[in-house]
Amino acid sequence: SKKLLLDVDCGVDDAQAIMLALAANAEILGITCVHGNTSVENVCKNTLRVLQVCNKLEIPVFKGASKPILGHEIKGGNFHGSDGFGDAPDPNAPSIDMIQEEGAVSAMIRIINENPGQVSLVATAPLTNLALAVRIDSSLPSKLKGLYIMGGNTESRGNTTVCGEFNFAADPEAAYIVLNDYLCPIYLACWEFTCYSKLSWEFCDRWLAQDSEKARFMARIFKHSLDLSKTERFEKELIAGTGLVSCDSYAMAAAINDAFILESDHFPVSVELTGTHTRGMMVVDTVGFMNKTQKACIMKKVNLDMFEQMMMAALK
């Protein structure tokens, strides 16, 4: 089975991605938390809530960076609610004491060094922890099997700023470091791709209506952002009609099953750090101007039947 390390900013789609991995035949070595959809403290709490409902509290959870490397924190809007989980009350939430004493960055370095060449790192959040880790241990990227990222964009369409996808816009310097220093295979589930790969509302209804504690939990924490996704404002942002866009789950599915990606582009990529409207925007070097040999695998088409099956299993 695959060895996975997850780096999350536990909003609702991160939760969906984690649950996908828990239901799959994968070994989760740890989950590192970072600022993003909500404060890193809430991210830690939310991650524990997910593990609790899945009976997997033995998986270690680590607290990481609370802010981006430079610049202001971008508030994740209110899309996932102020607590990242739709502000649905949870009186039985596990205690925050369950968070490991070891910090996320050192845990990341330790776990990858303990399993050289074997770990797939799935990052579904601003890349602050990963950037700090590679600055401390520059050998880290060469020891990863693969790095799967939800983030960036290919058509300069933003969901946070005009041209910025949230995970990259929330820490452009970190995204820059990761895309330029991690010389391991990198797989990208970019914003537009996730929008073009929506699942139907009909699927979403069936998915949430499953008779299980996990499905009831998901329906509760998802209500806030689900209602928002169905409004006119989001129809523009979500490109080409509405539907279920579980962004982070695409990166996870690719890490879990090698047959998930059906078509992809292979180009060098980087991130814009300055610019009035373009800070945090991903740039794709289709011609070769950047003289970079490393090419990222940019997902274009994935197996959506397989995706629906994995999503269903996640809430069983």
For residue 202, the minimal CB distance to ligand BDR (Å) is: 23
One-letter amino acid of 99: I
47 binds, among ligand BDR, Ca ion, none (CB under 5 to 8 A by kind): none
Contact residues toward Ca ion (CB under 5 A) are 9, 14, 124-125, 248
Contacts of 166 (CB under 8 A, 6+ apart): 36, 74, 76, 126, 151, 159, 160
* CB-nearer residue toward ligand BDR: 87 or 114: 87
311, 199 in Cβ contact below 8 A?
A: yes
Place of tokens 């060098």: 268
The residue range among 6-14, 46-54, 136-144, 182-190 that interacts with ligand BDR, by the rule CB under 6 A, is 6-14
**Mask: binding to ligand BDR, 72-91, rule CB under 6 A, as x and -?**
----x---------------
Q: How far is CA 298 from the centre of its chain?
A: 15
Among 124, 197, 242, 270, binds ligand BDR (CB under 6 A): 124
Q: Which of 7, 9, 83, 171 is catalytic?
A: 9
Cα within 13 Å of Cα(230), Cβ side: 8
* CB-nearer residue toward ligand BDR: 155 or 202: 155
* CB-nearer residue toward ligand BDR: 46 or 257: 46
245, 229 in Cβ contact below 8 A?
A: yes
The residue range among 87-95, 137-145, 161-169, 278-286 that interacts with ligand BDR, by the rule CB under 6 A, is 161-169
Among 85, 148, 166, 307, binds ligand BDR (CB under 6 A): 166
296 binds, among Ca ion, ligand BDR, none (CB under 5 to 8 A by kind): none
List for the chain the helix, strand, coil content (%; round to 5). 40, 20, 40
164 binds, among Ca ion, ligand BDR, none (CB under 5 to 8 A by kind): none
* 90 counts as catalytic: no
For residue 34, the minimal CB distance to ligand BDR (Å) is: 11
Contacts of 308 (CB under 8 A, 6+ apart): 199, 203
Site for ligand BDR in 92-111 (CB under 6 A): none
Whole-angstrom Cα distance, residue 73 to residue 248? 20
Q: How far is CA 117 from the centre of its chain?
A: 21
87, 221 in Cβ contact below 8 A?
A: no
Place of tokens 């929330």: 170
81 binds, among ligand BDR, Ca ion, none (CB under 5 to 8 A by kind): none
| H or E segment and range at residue 187 | strand 186-189
Binding residues vs ligand BDR (CB under 6 A): 11, 13-14, 37, 76, 124-125, 150, 159, 165-167, 191, 247-248
Which residues belong to the active site? Answer: 9
